[in-house]
Amino acid sequence: MTKICFVTGRRPVKGNIINRKGQSKKSGGIGTHVTSITKRKFRPNLQKVRIRTANGGTKRVWVSVKALKAGLVQKV
């Protein structure tokens, strides 16, 4: 199971690491050039916490720290 926030739905997002070489035009060079592109993932800061559900029970779920700080869930 992938790690997805129970409250906000945040999930890992795909992206790239772009390596550039050369001196920028601004500092007197001929410009930078892309030398390699590597795939990567941006992962949300998720914590496994016990929360109180609407019907009064408890449940262990993955919750993003942003949701915890905002007070969107009540920890047990």
**pLDDT value of position 9:** 96
Hey, what are 56's tokens?
């009064």
List of E strands, the chain = 13-21, 33-42, 46-52, 58-64
This prediction's pTM:
0.74
Domain-located, residue 22: yes
Tally of structural domains, the chain:
1
Domain-located, residue 26: yes
Domain-located, residue 4: no
Q: Give the C-alpha distances (Å, rounded to integers) separating 14 from 47, 49, 58, 65.
A: 20, 25, 33, 20
- Phi/psi at 30 (nearest 5 deg)? -100, 5
Positions in the chain short of pLDDT 50:
none
